[in-house]
Chains A and B, each alone.
Chain A
Amino acid sequence: MSDKIRKVEGITKESTEALIAETLAVYPEKAKKKRAPHLGANDPASGSACVKSNKKTVPGVMSARGCAYAGAKGVVWGPIRDMVHVSHGPVGCGWYSWGTRRNMMSGITGVTSFPMQFTSDFQEKDIVYGGDKKLKTLLEEAHDLFPLAKGISVLSECPVGLIGDDINSVAKQSAKDLDIPIIPCNCEGFRGVSQSLGHHISNDTIRDFIIGTREYPEPESPYDIALIGEYNIGGDAWSTKPLLEECGFNVKAVWTGDGELEKIAATHKVKLNVIHCYRSMNYMCKVMEEKYGIPWVELNFFGPTKIRNSLRQLAALFDDTIKAKVEAVIAKYDPIMQAVIDEYKPRLDGKKVMLLVGGLRPRHTIGAYEDLGMECVGSGYEFAHTDDYDRTAPEMPDATVVYDDPAEYEFEKFAGALKPDLIGSGIKEKYVFQKMGVPFRQMHSWDYSGPYHGYKGFEVFARDVDMAINSPTWQLVKAPF
Chain B
Amino acid sequence: MSNALGLEVKTIVETPPEEVERVKEWINTEEYKEKNFARQALVINPAHACQPLGAQLAAHGFEGTLPFVHGSQGCASYYRSTLNRHFREPAPAVSDAMTEDGAVFGGQNNLHEGLENANALYKPKMIAVFTSCMPEVIGDDLTAFIKNAKQKGFVPKELPVPYANTPSFSGTHINGYDSMLLSILQNLTEGKQIEGRCTGKLNLIPGCDFNTGDYREYKRILEAFGIPYTVLADISDSFDSPCDGDYHIYAGGTKLEDAADSINCKATIAIGSYSTAKTFGWLKDNFSGKHASLPMPMGIGKTDAFIMKVAELFGKDVPASLKNERGRAVDAITDTHQYIHGKKFAVYGDPDYLLGYVSFLLEVGARPHHILCSRGNKKVEKDLQALLDSSPFGQGGKIYMNKDLWHLRSLLMTDPVDAIIGDSHGKFAARDAKVPLFRFGFPVFDRVNKHRYPLIGYQGAINMMTEICNKFIDIKDDTCEDRQFELMR
B444 → chain A closest CB, angstroms? 13
Which of A39-47, A109-117, A226-234, A318-326 touches B?
Answer: A109-117
Tell me if A122 is interfacial: C-beta within 8 Å of chain B: yes
A30, B120: Cα distance in complex, Å: 12
Contact flags B96-109 to A (C-beta < 8 A → 1, else 0):
11111011000000
A100, B45: Cα distance in complex, Å: 14
Tell me if B172 is interfacial: C-beta within 8 Å of chain A: yes
A477, B50: Cα distance in complex, Å: 36
Residues of B within 8 A of A193 (CB): 99
Contact flags B110-127 to A (C-beta < 8 A → 1, else 0):
110111111111100000
Contact flags A190-222 to B (C-beta < 8 A → 1, else 0):
111101000000000000110011111100000
Tell me if A282 is interfacial: C-beta within 8 Å of chain B: no
Which of B4-12, B193-201, B216-224, B353-361 touches A?
Answer: B4-12
A108, B22: Cα distance in complex, Å: 12
A96–B79 touching, CB < 8 Å: yes
B100–A190 touching, CB < 8 Å: yes
Contact flags B192-220 to A (C-beta < 8 A → 1, else 0):
00000000000000000000000000000
B391 → chain A closest CB, angstroms? 33
Which of B239-247, B264-272, B472-480 touches A?
Answer: B239-247
A93–B78 touching, CB < 8 Å: yes
Interface residues in A54-87 (C-beta closer than 8 Å to B) = 56-70, 86
Contact flags A119-152 to B (C-beta < 8 A → 1, else 0):
1111110110000001101100110110110000
Tell me whether A92 and B75 are in contact in the complex, defined as CB-CB below 8 angstroms, given that A60-B68, A62-B92, A216-B12 are known contacts. yes
B428–A118 touching, CB < 8 Å: no
Nearest CB in chain A to that of B111: its residue: A59
Tell me if A26 is interfacial: C-beta within 8 Å of chain B: yes
Among A26, A65, A145, A434, which residue has its beta carbon within 8 angstroms of that of B77?
Answer: A65
Tell me if B316 is interfacial: C-beta within 8 Å of chain A: no
Interface residues in B67-101 (C-beta closer than 8 Å to A) = 68, 71-75, 77-82, 84-85, 88-100
A154, B88: Cα distance in complex, Å: 32
A110–B27 touching, CB < 8 Å: yes
Residues of B within 8 A of A464 (CB): none
A112–B81 touching, CB < 8 Å: no
Residues of B within 8 A of A466 (CB): none
Tell me whether A127 and B137 are in contact in the complex, defined as CB-CB below 8 angstroms, given that A95-B46, A477-B245 are known contacts. yes
Among B53, B168, B244, which residue has its beta carbon within 8 angstroms of that of A477?
Answer: B244
Interface hub of A95, A142, A144, A427 (most chain B Cβ within 10 A) = A95
A61, B77: Cα distance in complex, Å: 12
Tell me if A347 is interfacial: C-beta within 8 Å of chain B: no
Which of B36-44, B291-299, B340-348 touches A?
Answer: B36-44
B41–A141 touching, CB < 8 Å: yes
Tell me if B425 is interfacial: C-beta within 8 Å of chain A: yes
Interface hub of A92, A109, A217, A426 (most chain B Cβ within 10 A) = A92
Residues of B within 8 A of A69 (CB): 74
Residues of A within 8 A of B111 (CB): 59
B94–A61 touching, CB < 8 Å: yes
Interface residues in B424-447 (C-beta closer than 8 Å to A) = 425, 428, 432, 445
A261, B103: Cα distance in complex, Å: 34
Number of interface residues of A (CB under 8 A): 100
A479, B242: Cα distance in complex, Å: 11
B35–A145 touching, CB < 8 Å: yes
Which of B13-21, B181-189, B255-263, B307-315 touches A?
Answer: B13-21
Residues of B within 8 A of A64 (CB): 77
Tell me if B469 is interfacial: C-beta within 8 Å of chain A: no
B169–A28 touching, CB < 8 Å: no
A425 → chain B closest CB, angstroms? 12
A55, B211: Cα distance in complex, Å: 39
Nearest CB in chain B to that of A94: its residue: B46
Tell me if B232 is interfacial: C-beta within 8 Å of chain A: no
A70, B72: Cα distance in complex, Å: 12
Residues of A within 8 A of B248 (CB): 435
Tell me if B400 is interfacial: C-beta within 8 Å of chain A: no
Tell me whether A191 and B74 are in contact in the complex, defined as CB-CB below 8 angstroms, given that A92-B168, A116-B45, A144-B35 are known contacts. no
A137–B27 touching, CB < 8 Å: no
A46, B138: Cα distance in complex, Å: 46
B83 → chain A closest CB, angstroms? 9
Nearest CB in chain B to that of A117: its residue: B45
A435–B41 touching, CB < 8 Å: no
Interface hub of B15, B91, B122, B247 (most chain A Cβ within 10 A) = B247
Tell me whether A134 and B41 are in contact in the complex, defined as CB-CB below 8 angstroms, given that A65-B74, A108-B24 are known contacts. yes
Tell me if B23 is interfacial: C-beta within 8 Å of chain A: yes
A216, B445: Cα distance in complex, Å: 40
A112–B432 touching, CB < 8 Å: no
Tell me whether A57 and B97 are in contact in the complex, defined as CB-CB below 8 angstroms, given that A63-B73, A97-B78, A124-B170 are known contacts. yes
Contact flags A359-403 to B (C-beta < 8 A → 1, else 0):
000000000000000000000000000000000000000000000
Tell me if A421 is interfacial: C-beta within 8 Å of chain B: no
A124–B42 touching, CB < 8 Å: no
Tell me if A289 is interfacial: C-beta within 8 Å of chain B: no
A162–B103 touching, CB < 8 Å: yes
Which of A335-343, A348-356, A404-412, A449-457 touches B?
Answer: A404-412
Among B12, B85, B95, B134, which residue has its beta carbon within 8 angstroms of that of A162?
Answer: B134
A127, B41: Cα distance in complex, Å: 14
A120–B77 touching, CB < 8 Å: no
A60, B92: Cα distance in complex, Å: 11
A26 → chain B closest CB, angstroms? 6
A36 → chain B closest CB, angstroms? 14
A96, B79: Cα distance in complex, Å: 7
B42–A435 touching, CB < 8 Å: no
B72–A189 touching, CB < 8 Å: yes
Tell me if B384 is interfacial: C-beta within 8 Å of chain A: no
A421 → chain B closest CB, angstroms? 15
A162–B137 touching, CB < 8 Å: yes
A28–B82 touching, CB < 8 Å: no
Residues of B within 8 A of A317 (CB): none
A120, B169: Cα distance in complex, Å: 10
Query: Can you report 17 residue pairs joining A to B where beta carbons are below 8 Å apart?
Result: A57-B73, A59-B111, A63-B95, A91-B172, A116-B406, A116-B428, A117-B45, A120-B43, A159-B134, A212-B9, A213-B8, A214-B11, A427-B81, A432-B90, A435-B247, A436-B246, A478-B244
